[in-house]
Structure formats: structure tokens, C-alpha cells
Amino acid sequence: PPPPQNAGAVVELLKVLLKARAEEAGVASKLIANVADLERIAIDDNAKVDALTGWRRQLFGEDALKLKRGEIALVLNGARVEVVEIE
């Protein structure tokens, strides 16, 4: 099936989350996920990608899924991207 119309926007949000989480952890973002992984996550919550398993899921994957479900949001605090819970 074709990807949802908003998949591109979702991928862009996931990129921002990935960069923020990678910077916090002091890890290169490409060690967590690549663009192809983000595209798969954007269209499938159960995508078979490393970013949704193990330490990568803890660092990024869980929040990626929460972002897709609208459970968290990305906000700017000065020049810093922060994750906030949506109530």
C-alpha cells in the first residue's frame, strides 16, 4: 500500500526527535536510525528496524511511537528541542 499522505511530515518530526535524543545521549544519530528506518516507522508502528529494538528503542523508538500517537510533543526551549508529555 502507498504511504499515508502525511508520511513525509511524520518523517521530518521523527528526524528532529532523533537528533535531540542522539545529542542528549552523545551518540551519532545514524547509530540509532537512518532515514529509511524513519520512513518505515512513519508508516508502521511494528516496522522491523533496529530503532524499535533494544537500547535504540529505549533511547528513541518508544518516543517515536508516542510522537506518532500524539502522546508527546516537541517544543523549543531557547535553541534546545525538548519533549513534553501531552495530557
Cβ pair 72, 66 in contact under 8 A: yes
* Domain positions in the chain: 7-85
Assign a CATH topology to domain 7-85: DNA polymerase; domain 1 (1.10.150)
Provide the whole-model pTM. 0.91
pLDDT per residue as tens digits for the range 8-53: 899 999 999 999 999 999 999 999 999 999 999 999 999 999 999 9
| Rg, the chain, Cα only | 12
